[in-house]
Structure 1
Amino acid sequence: MSKLQVGVIFGGNSSEYPVSLHSVASVLRNLDANKYDVTMIGIDPNGNWYVYDGDIDTLEHDHWLESGHATRALLSPSKQEGLLILENGTYTTKKLDVLLPILHGKNGEDGTIQGLFTLSQIPYVGCNHVSSAIAMDKEYTHIICESAGIPMAPYIALRKNMPQTMAQIVKQVEAKLQFPLFVKPANAGSSFGISKVNVMDDLEKAIDFAYAYDDKIVIESGISGFEVGSSVLGNDALIIGDVDEIETHNSFFDYDAKYELENTQIHCPARISDEKKAEIKAYAKTIYHVLGCSGLSRIDMFIDDDEKIFFNEINTIPGFTSASRYPSMMANVGYDFPKLLDTLLELALEKANATK
């Protein structure tokens, strides 16, 4: 049998570009070369597309663009063309059977590129453009999940194009929220732009910081407790991975805690009762279906001091390094890295066939 033609997309015009490089390196090392003919497709921080045919280490350390192994390319929105590879004033085409985006944050996880995939009519791993966009936007996630009865922290949303005075914002905060507050860009990941605010005098600075990453922000009441996560794999029938637990001595689970494990330890499985794990997994299934997800997601929640569960956020393309939480949770239920990737590609083809 001929190998499946897989386009693996990495990089991206996003603040999470470096995270993608580390994730995709692990993915490429774990894709079975006997099953897949892999085309590496890189997007640089300016949004330019390339086909890359160099080694994985060069990619991971962000020297791929100047390596001499990157050729300009683009994905056509036309079904007939597929991938266009541009050289010497002309182009060649390459047909791909399935796309595996390892992109995080804006323009990669927010439905933007998923819309292009849909136009190209190439099957792809992960949520569709609508679910990706909703899951990326913390305000819309709040609205939809709260309407389904899923508990979340109280919040307010602010928009840069609808300016308010600090006095007006303070009034909203005092009426609805409690300190500590978390101020977040509505559309960003990896804890970029997030601040923990303990007193009102620090709120304006945190708002300005969040607006540097997005034109819409959310301000949430902090939940006193600890964070747990649940991994989901599947389209309609779902496989739920193990539950993990974050133990951090930082003020919150920030970028350094996530990627350097600064003052942080991740326990998988979580150090909680089986009954609480079952409750978390049930919430994860509900959230996944309510948001219309497919393929995969990692769903993060809090357990407060009274052992109540609160949904925090969903990541539709979670981290994929060998030490990342999603692969670790799935490995604990029998899906090692190669099997996990096999399953994700199968699910992408299954979803495409179901919509024909």
Structure 2
Amino acid sequence: MTGTERVRVAVVFGGRSSEHGVSCSTAREVMAVIDSSRYEVLPVGITPTGHWVEETGVWDDLPSGTLPYVRDDRPDFSWDRLQHEVDVVFPLLHGPWGEDGTIQGMLEMAGVPYVGAGVLASAVAMDKPFTKTVFSAAGLPQLPYVTIQPWEWDAKRERTVARVHALGLPVFVKPARAGSSSGVTMVSDWGHLEDAVEGARKLDPKVIVEAAARHKREVECAVIQDLGGMPIASEVGEIVVDDSIGHTYYDFEAKYLDGTSQNVIPAEISTTQRDRIRAYALQAFDAIGGEGLARVDFFLTDSVDGGLVINEINTMPGFTPYSMFPKAWEASGIAYPELVERLLALALGRSTGLR
């Protein structure tokens, strides 16, 4: 590549997970701000069935309240072209088969630079029980939880249900390896537990059940690396959900479809709380071996560790201009286009393989 040639970046989006439409929304917005004088963008879509196609990333006349999707009638794209035709990959995939280390491993094998966390960090962050194990080893405060393995639910259900009952009501039942609140059910009556677990198992045979945070506020902090590789934390934001129309928690519809959630940045919290959240965010990023970017989610409660517990870490968070990750950085002095440029520069400046 000569100094006059543009860097060729493949933006990969869609995918087989339940977060397909969220990924497409993210990709549409990211591609719109990539500097075309410096980068040549190659949109690559993966359909819900795993078919790789040459996409455009442009969707006209989508009905209100719907998300874009990768079209199966687009020309085929052979994924091995990533090794031979591009300089860097921006994998904007959310959930399993993308955010979980799978595409990262493929790119590592092919020796192609890419944006974001590596194989191990991606896999650990996607699997909520493993994330909690790592966070526990790092000394981060968490709420109690129970992991339900497939064989336990099938062969030891009575014992498993008893373990869950020990958490107390209410609880949240979740697929162990999904995001965007897909398959999540809040259970306030034990009579609904088995239905909730079966619902989560439709997305993932492994399920996690978490004790609910009491009188919680949901706060989030974004992390990126500077060009020297040092992680830095953003301003802290708070998710405020309108519960007057039936949202008892920050569910999929509140996040992406009906516009009833609001990002408040900076969050109205004390300086002590802000400093602790930012410190814990960096600690969580370091604990999983994060790279590039992440968003770390917390609950402010009325009981545990002075009111603060960590919920989870996302290695490829939602990335539309209205998502918490870029909005937190905008409030911290880094605008959306600059943030995209920073992540591409980080990817181009690091090697694949062991590092």
For 2:69 and 2:188, how far apart are their aligned partners in 1? 41
Residue 342 of structure 1 aligns with an amino acid whose one-letter code is: E
What secondary structure does 2:97 align onto? coil
Tell me: CA distance 1:286–1:167, structure 2 relative to 1, closer, same or farther (3 Å). same
Query: Matched residue of 2:284: which SS?
Result: helix
Structure 2 match to 1:281: 278
2: distance between equivalents of 1:55 and 1:214? Answer: 28
Aligned to 2:350: 351
Question: Given the alignment of the two structures, is residue 239 of structure 1 paired with residue 232 of structure 2, yes or no?
Answer: yes
1:133 paired to 2:123:
yes
- Taking the aligned partners of 1:298 and 1:320, their CA distance within structure 2 comes to 10
CA distance change for structure 1 residues 50 and 66 in 2, over 3 Å: closer, same or farther?
A: closer
Judged with a 3 Å threshold, the aligned counterparts in structure 2 of structure 1 residues 252 and 124 are, in CA distance, closer, same or farther, namely same
Q: Which amino acid aligns with 2:294?
A: S
What residue is the counterpart of 1:331 in the other structure? 330
TM-superposed CA distance for 1:55, in Å, is 6.1
Q: Which amino acid aligns with 2:96?
A: K
Aligned mate of 1:32, from 31, 35, 51: 35
Decide whether the 8 Å contact of 1:298 with 1:316 is kept in 2: yes
CA–CA distance in 2 between the matches of 1:299 and 1:255? 18
CA contact (8 A) 1:21 1:59 kept: no
Find the partner of 2:102 among 100, 112, 117: 112
Per-residue CA deviation, residues 155-184 of structure 1 (Å, 9 max, x unaligned), is: 110112332444212321233x12110111
Q: Is residue 73 of structure 1 aligned with residue 81 of structure 2?
A: no
Q: Tell me: CA distance 1:15–1:211, structure 2 relative to 1, closer, same or farther (3 Å).
A: same
Higher strand residue share: 1
Structure 1 runs not aligned, ≥5 long: 84-93
The one-letter code matched in structure 2 to 1:238 is P
Q: CA deviation at 1:351?
A: 2.4
Query: CA separation in 2, counterparts of 1:209 and 1:317?
Result: 25
Pick the aligned partner of 1:5 from 3, 8, 29: 8
Aligned residue for 1:345, secondary structure, equals helix
SS of match in other structure, 1:114? helix
| Residue identity (%) | 35
| 1:39-118 mapped onto 2 (5 Å cutoff) | 39-52=42-55, 54=56, 56-58=58-60, 62=68, 65=71, 70-76=74-80, 82=82, 94-118=84-108
TM-score (norm. length: structure 2): 0.90
- 1:3 deviates by 1.1
Q: Aligned pair in 2 of structure 1 residues 269, 117: CA closer, same or farther (>3 Å)?
A: same
Please say if residues 161 and 215 of structure 1, whose CA atoms lie closer than 8 Å, have aligned partners that are also in contact.
no
2:218 maps to what in 1?
227
TM-align CA RMSD: 2.0
User: Which residue identity does 2:206 align to in structure 1?
Assistant: K
Distance 1:263 1:37 in 2: 36
CA offsets per residue over residues 176-206 of structure 1, 9 Å max, x none?
Answer: x121101110000010111111121111111
Letter paired with 1:142 = K
Separation of aligned partners in 1, 2:299 and 2:258: 19
Q: Aligned partner of 2:335: which letter?
A: D
Unaligned 5+ runs, structure 2: none
